[in-house]
Structure 1
Amino acid sequence: MANFNWKPLLLACLIVSIGQLSLGLVFPALPAVADSLQLSSEQVQLLVSGYLFSFGTSQLVYGPLSDVHGRRPVLLAGLLIAVSGLAVAVLCADSFHWLLLGRVIQGVGAGSVAVLARATIRDSYQRQDLVKAMTWVAIVAAFTPIMAPVVGGIVNHHFGWLAVFAILLGYIAIVWLLLLVCFTETLSATQAPQSVGQLAKSYLSLLQEQHFLSFAGIGWVNFSLVVLSISMMPFIMQVQIGMSSERYALWAMGPAFGLLCGGLVCQRLRPRLGTQKMLMLSPLLHLVAGSVLIAAPLSPIWMVSGHFLMAMANGIAFPCAQSLLLVPYGNKAGTVSALSGACQMVFASLLSNGLLKLGISQAWHLGGIMVIGAGLGLLLAMLGTMSESGRRAVATLNG
């Protein structure tokens, strides 16, 4: 790894942090937003599901555009849209409808970051370097929305919920300026533009491939568990247990370190055990995490322990699954990342919102969902690695 080029990785981590920070920073402020604007918990959750839905669906446009026009111009344009949406949210925050509209516009723009972070990594690295880079991007992608509540809780406690959105606006504006100066094009050869019909056929073709559905599906399941957990935990810890948002912010550091531990374990053990075995380890950790939340008493240490194990499992699963997913697709990385990311966000948005509407609110409810997720993750990992393209991808990464 002496010749490893860190610049594309560092920029990709900075890019991907934008979309995920926009989730985690806001969660601790949701009870305060609901109280300030006289909203129900179900209504205020639209600030999450609305963002996720627009974030996810917009990726279907950004991926193919970046394959045709390059990563840099598409990324910079998307971030300007995100800045515009946050400006609407901050300037019109006294109206929930305008606040929600701003979040949706922000999601439309921020959809560019998830696609292009993964695509630039695929453009820039091969084999072992690809797994190493993807591991760190996955750590940042999942670490940020778990760690962000620490910052969000402190800001909300001392300065109010509007300051949370103002900080997001400032952060994305600064990152845009940095990328304008430092980010260079990573795509060596662009593709010919596709018609809408051709693009739809390309997406439908991917959705019929066992390789895509298996490894992308692992990301969908794992991210849904992340979103559901960080949606419910502020209410479990602050409302049911009675913590202040500032104290909850400190406890929220536990899952963040769990994710970091998972990523480090993946970096350390994957070269010895192989990508396939590491991928199989993640559902076992999810099973243990779910069992803890089901059986343990309602106390901070047990809640954070279950969340820690879930985050650790995600830190292992995300880089392995994403690396295996992208290996066969080469210059189509933008399109593949777009469909995978769009489905991931839409799936997480619809699932989390649907479960909350069904009355999922207790820790043991969350534990039960984790156990189901463990079973789905194991099944998808087995199906993916049993396919011919999956075996070739495993051999490529292990070689």
Structure 2
Amino acid sequence: MQDGSAPRGMLPLITALVAMGVASMALYVPSLPAIQADFGVEPADTQLTLTLFFLGFSTAQLLFGPLSDRFGRRPIILIGLVLYSAISLACAFAPGIEALQIGRFLQGFAACVGPVVGRAVVRDKFDGPKAITAFAVVGTALAIVPAVAPMLGGFLQAHIGWRANFVFLTLASLILLATTYLKLTESVPEKNLDALKPRRLVRIYGGLLSSPFFMGQALASSLAFAGFFAYFTEAPFLFIGEMGLSPDMFGLLMIFTVAGYASGSFLAGRLIPRLGTRPVILLSFVFLIAGSGLLYLLSDSLTIARVIGPMSVYTIGFGMVIPGSMAEALRPFPRVAGSASAILGFFQFFCAALTSLLVQPLYDGTARTLALVIIGVALFTVVQFLVLTRNGPPEARESAA
């Protein structure tokens, strides 16, 4: 652990790497109805491109985490960025919906390298309150990206077309690749030569999965994440398809939900040093349940305010739960931070994929079924956290390495 020794500029770079995955999801969301019309397919076919991205993003983390423990953070990030750039360019020229679906799965597979390895770098370089502050900085940036990306994506859709989104992602990833090559230093003091041995991976992942505290913290962030991305999957069809908003106007509306997320993340960074992590996480659950419940109560009529208002409340809780739960999940496992970060990221995006798949066939042009899904997720988040984390964290498991 090199607490406080992180070189100047490392945290902004890591934040950009972590944000890359969110940008890959959010930028093209205003284009989903246009992609549907362009290829002449059903809404579920275009929504599947988002679900497949989640699946690729989640499963690849189980590979990139151990790879970064074995070979170091820097080379794995560089390789991932090269792959991401090539796949993003291929998505820009997809000839049909099937090719785009495959491309999005592969893009998600490559995009996960920034978040999973970036979180491990934060764990390498920061500890204690500084780690929570670093995760709060990353969380605030993650709130800004989903606001800016749909606005930019809506502008590109309105003036150029949906393929421009993937050209932009290609160019942005090439810039990030060059910056990473020049600026990112290796953060692993000693590479773990046994990190990829099958028996060791089974032991590590088994140890993490069997830790109630780790699972409680991991699922707290993952389920809150999943609830938001259930909304993310349905939102363009509600606002653009049902209410008739333009893609760029839809992008502007993301400011409200993302402002809620940023506010929650900011509050977490201020309250955790004073109150402790667990009370702040419990407080975040109040906002999750209140927002999802309000969405259901107002779902009898579909208007912008009746959807955006409740989801803004929900995202305050989402922003509050992320920094503390992520830091607490990784804290007891310093020697296997890459693998622990991989499991954490896997659950976040796998849960998002499940809720995305769940809401697709239930879509009925209203927010009612969406609200029921989010309420269920929020309630399960609270119950599992109270049960799994009631005995507190385990001792740091150095033996897991």
TM over 0.5: yes
Extract unaligned runs of 5+ from structure 1. 394-399
Q: Who is 1:365 aligned against?
A: 369
Listed one character per residue, the Cα deviations across residues 322-378 of structure 1 (whole Å, up to 9, x for unaligned) are: 011011100211000111211221221123113312446521222222222222222
Q: Which runs of 5+ in 2 are unaligned?
A: 397-401
Match of 1:163 in 2: 164
Task: Letter of the 1:54 partner, please give it.
Answer: G
In terms of fraction of residues, the more helix-rich structure is 1
Q: Which aligned pairs between 1:168-207 and structure 2 lie closer than 5 A? A: 168-193=169-194, 194-207=196-209
Aligned with residue 376 of structure 1, among 371, 374, 380? 380
Task: Quote the residue 2:399 is aligned against.
Answer: none
- Counterpart contact for 1:85–1:101, Cα < 8 Å: no
1:187, CA displacement in angstroms?
Answer: 0.9
Counterpart AA for 1:70: G
Q: Given that residues 229 and 355 in structure 2 are in contact (C-alpha distance below 8 angstroms), is that contact kept between their aligned partners in structure 1? A: no
Larger CA deviation: 260-269 vs 95-104: 95-104
**Partner residue, 1:397:** none
**Residue 27 (structure 2) aligned to one of 25, 30, 54:** 25
Match of 1:94 in 2: 95
Equivalent residue number for residue 109 of structure 1: 110
Question: Partner residue of 2:338?
Answer: 334
Determine the C-alpha separation between the residues in 2 that align with 1:74 and 1:227.
Answer: 27
- Secondary structure at 1:389 match in 2: coil
Equivalent in the alignment of 1:44: 46
Instruction: Tell me if 1:324 matches 2:325.
Output: no
Cα gap change, 1:244 to 1:68, in 2 (>3 Å): same
Q: Would the aligned equivalents of 1:232 and 1:361 in 2 still touch at CA under 8 Å?
A: no
Secondary structure of 2:232's counterpart equals helix
Per-residue CA distance 1:256-308 (angstroms, 9 max, x = gap): 11111111111222222221110001111011111221122421122111121
1:315 paired to 2:319: yes
Partner of 2:68: 66
Moved more, 346-355 or 2-11: 2-11
User: Structure 2 counterpart of 1:63, which letter?
Assistant: G
Q: Counterpart of 1:216?
A: 218
Q: Percent of aligned pairs with the same residue?
A: 26
For 2:381 and 2:338, the matched residues in 1 are separated by 24
CA contact (8 A) 2:143 2:262 kept: no
TM-score (norm 2): 0.92
Match of 1:251 among 245, 249, 253: 253
1:205-264 Cα offsets, whole Å, 9 max, x none, are 211110121011112201111211111111111122221112212212111111111111
3-state SS of paired residue (1:186): coil
RMSD between aligned alpha carbons?
2.0
Q: 1:386 aligns with which of 387, 390, 398?
A: 390
Residue deviations 1:102-143 (CA, integer Å, cap 9, x gap): 222212211211211110000010111011001111233354
Bigger Cα displacement from structure 2, 333-342 vs 102-111: 102-111
2:79 is matched by which residue type in structure 1? A
